[in-house]
Amino acid sequence: MSENEKEIKNPAETRPLGPPKSTVREYFESFVVTLIMAIFGMTFILQAVTVPTGSMQNTILIGDYLLVNKFIFAPSGNPVPFLPQRDVERGDIIVFKYPGNKVNPRNDSSRGIVPYQINYVKRVIGLPGETVEFRNNQVFINGQLLPERRIIGDAEDEESALTTREFEPPPSGEKYSAYYSESTMNNVLAGRRMSRSGYEFGVEGKPMQVPENHFFVMGDSRDNSEDSRYWGFVPRELIIGRAMFVYWSCDRAASNGNFFGCLTNPRLDRIGKMIK
């Protein structure tokens, strides 16, 4: 068979496949695919949040940047088969949309806080249907003492981590630590009743049952946390996800709150720390 006959019999072999992609086009297509995957991941799986207050110290510090798992909690508490999902559990550190202070809404407006728009980070203490009461710097669930490791912790200023010391041996079954100031623990030891202004939910003399599809949350820095004791319960639909780990952390005091200062004043020992 001659060469001319081959060309006639196999025209596809000689047909051009189109102009080659330029380097710029290849980079652009890779960027678009990466961007789409990032948007999908940040919408349905992961979310990054920062911690602006000290209500979770020393578990989470001011200036920690957290990665949040948005996929772990099954919708309405019904896990999808074969997927790594579960319902919200006691002890989970969750990120949620602040539901607002229904008892004293003026407290929010006076500080420029808009409900449902700001993210809060707290620990789940009470589950739906449980009765919660906080008294004498202890938490009682359905009348039973919740095993928490109480540690005395005080901060020199609002930005600093708590300086801590042991208060009591860890109770059996404890999974996390709660921090109390030395002054309130001294009041407890002296048998003095403490007045906590503004605390209306689940406090001494006001045990409350957690409504269905709601959760009672508290900060680990118990004397420096406006939480469910102050503004009520967290609806299930406002929960964004569970805090996983610290992907970046900076000394806010050293950086003076400046973005570039945060980059040049990292806390390397915090980066990669798992949140539990």
Q: Which residues are catalytic?
A: 55, 122
Tokens of 215: 């959760």
**Is the preceding omega at residue 58 within 30 degrees of 0, hence cis?**
yes
Taken in order 177, 178, 179, 181, is the CA torsion positive or negative?
negative
Rounded to whole angstroms, how far apart are CA atoms 91 and 242?
11
Tokens of 82: 């074969």
DSSP-assigned beta bridge partners for residue 123: 93, 218
Angle at 166 between CA 163 and CA 170, to 5 degrees: 135
Among residues 201, 204, 191, the alpha carbon closest in space to that of 228 is found at: 201
- Listed in order, strand segments (DSSP E) in 98-209 are 119-126, 131-135, 138-141, 144-145, 149-154, 163-166, 177-180, 208-209
- Listed in order, strand segments (DSSP E) in 43-157 are 46-50, 64-69, 93-97, 119-126, 131-135, 138-141, 144-145, 149-154
Tokens of 133: 């009461």
Rounded to whole angstroms, how far apart are CA atoms 57 and 229?
18
